[in-house]
Structure 1
């Protein structure tokens, strides 16, 4: 979950499901498939060359267009460029051993023009007509910055984010970092104003900035600094709400500060009671010199704490206080089966598609 600044009090987080730097199974599978496609098309090219030389009457030089067309449909840009290069060499070899005729020369020229057009088409498809691949890359970067750091034994934390209507971009994000040489963790849940691409690009910018602030400042200075940062951007829709949790991994004591954001909710395992931790402070990016009043508590063994955005508990027909009651009720029912994958399971139970939503679930075993 975070872009981190390299200082002595912070450690780089590990992704939730895999170690950093290890390629995903999907990326590895896609790379292997592309290599197999390229190998098959190269074999088809060489086979065409052999048949063209030995069976010139039955195999025209235009047959090289078949692997070229298949490659434009099946291969990424770099493998396709390799195929085009090999095709050019094969056509040149065939041209050298065949009887030169005006029809042969015109066919070779047409194949060359066709190859150039296909290279341009593959390159445009990779970039997308409006730079879509760049936007997908921005989305992936936002997701990677929202990975939670690995917590010590006895602690677990999970963050889940979903966009409204299954859109590719969301204005909700999470950043976190270990502080105090790994003895504490700070988690920030942010809801950026707006939806879709506009909110997603602002969320990407803010996630990097907020990730840099975590651990570089004392917890009480984080929200004021984040507020100043948004004010300097002078966005027309530049406000955001946030909840900032500073948690000691040694004692379980925490401070929660909110900026126009829904409160945190804590389960007291000993009594089975849920407590709403309400803090006060305006949304970020609206007021100069804003005050953010903290609320404090402690997570005992078995306790859990939830942070979430308003998209999870508030709808046009329901106030967020009723939504919190529903969230707590679902969490109680879910807790009977344990809190493993708690955020994911809880979001599945409450999921609606009308707004972006994010949920962080921290549990002390």
Structure 2
């Protein structure tokens, strides 16, 4: 255990050094330059124990830590030192191959750095920004804390196992009214991830600020201003009064919500027609009123849960209700993750939200 603790301590120190190096590019360049010189000198002094290939290490670290111009300078210096070290070896040892390999590695590192430099962020900072944006999207999809008589769950599965998804959820509680919007951006996986990040921030800002009936029209106006050509989004928006269980469902080109009636044991689709967001200037959205009694549940889901090239939405909805029927006995607890795993299509983003009013 003490050895493991020491390894973790060393790992934290290395992470701290990397973070400081990212903030001080001049210091990182100087350190890598000294490392290059030290490795070259060690290889000259003891070629048997210190191979010339060790010079690749400063190049790879430079690709992670340095700005583009600094990396180019380090690469040229590194290749020059590598060539000198190899040329100093006995004539019977191969030389040209190593210099070529070192040059190719330097070219690969520089090419990657040049792409990242277009963002204006050096090293791996661009990747860190994407991860922070992904975490922001994930955090916005977390449902708020509800009164003890209510439970709400959400699960999202991206196409192809990507951490970015074109499906996202925004929610809020205001004046004992729970508002949830499940959004499906055109495209899937990484292709839709950037638009989903933008819309999640905008729609999250609208939710709970504009009146319930104005959410979809306001979201449509925002999407129209983006001028995204033929791109669009579908949305299902529900507002639930947590005191009475009364709810309103509005939809913009989205599959209908389904309600489980605990008293009769039946499933009912909550149809609320409305056009896709972003395609019309001033669309109208109908509303479907309902009530969640103790034991009832409301399911919001994306088309990836019910539609495949071989199955239409109607049959897919029946299949989803069949899977959900098995969760009634457990009060739908943990049901969102189970349903995504069981019914979610592997080739499309899948998302589901379950709002359950518990028995008194």
Moved over 2 A (4+): 28-38, 62-78, 127-132, 134-141, 195-198, 334-338
Residue of structure 1 in register with 2:136 after alignment: 141
Q: Which residue of 2 aligns with 1:201?
A: 194
Q: Which residue of 1 aligns with 2:223?
A: 230
Task: Show structure 2 runs of 5+ residues with no match.
Answer: 1-7, 19-37, 66-83, 89-101, 120-125
**TM-score, normalised with respect to structure 2:** 0.69
Secondary structure of the 1:305 match is strand
2:150 equivalent in structure 1:
155
1:172 and 2:167 equivalent? yes
Match of residue 259, structure 1, among 240, 248, 252: 252
Is the contact made by 1:230 and 1:238 (CA closer than 8 Å) also made in structure 2?
Answer: no
Q: CA deviation at 1:139?
A: 2.5
Q: Which residue of 2 aligns with 1:94?
A: none
In structure 1, distance between residues paired with 2:218 and 2:339: 32
- After superposition, what is the alpha-carbon deviation per residue over 1:15-65, rounded to whole angstroms, capped at 9, x for unaligned? xxxxxxxxxxxxx99963845999xxxxxxxxxx9xx9xxxxx979x9699
Gapped regions of structure 1 (runs ≥ 5): 1-27, 39-48, 53-57, 79-102, 108-113
Whether the aligned pair in 2 keeps the contact of 1:334 and 1:346 (CA below 8 Å) is no
Q: Residues 78-97 of structure 1: matches in 2 within 5 Å? A: none
- Report the Cα distance in structure 2 between the residues aligned to 1:29 and 1:276, rounded to whole angstroms: 55
Is 1:188 paired with 2:189?
no
Q: How high is the TM-score relative to the length of structure 1?
A: 0.68
CA–CA distance in 2 between the matches of 1:354 and 1:199? 14
Distance 1:355 1:71, change over 3 A: same
Q: Deviation at 1:227?
A: 0.9
1:32 and 2:12 equivalent? yes
Is the 8 Å Cα contact of residues 247 and 254 (structure 1) preserved in structure 2?
yes
Residue 357 of structure 1: aligned partner: 350
> How far apart, in 2, do the equivalents of 1:329 and 1:292 lie?
29
Query: 1:209 Cα deviation (Å)?
Result: 0.6
Greater RCO, 1 or 2 (C-alpha within 8 Å, sep 6+): 1
Q: Distance in 1 between matches of 2:169 and 2:310?
A: 27
- Shift in Å, 1:355: 1.1
1:300 maps onto 2:280 in alignment: no
Question: 8 Å contact 2:232–2:278 — kept in the other structure?
Answer: yes
Structure 1 equivalent of residue 207 of structure 2 = 214
Kept in 2, the 8 Å contact 1:37–1:74? The answer is no
Q: How many residues align?
A: 302
User: Are 1:265 and 1:275, in contact at CA under 8 Å, matched by a contact in 2?
Assistant: yes
1:239-282 CA distances to partner (integer Å, 9 max, x unpaired)? 11100011111111110000111111111112211111100111
Following superposition of structure 1 onto structure 2, how do residues 231-246 of structure 1 map, counting pairs within 5 Å?
A: 231-246=224-239
Counterparts in 2 of 1:201 and 1:358: CA distance versus 1, 3 Å: same
SS of 1:151's partner is: coil
Q: 1:333-344, aligned counterparts within 5 Å?
A: 333-344=326-337
CA contact (8 A) 2:189 2:348 kept: no
- Whole-angstrom CA distance in 2 between matches of 1:311 and 1:169: 15
- Tell me the residue number matched to 2:72: none
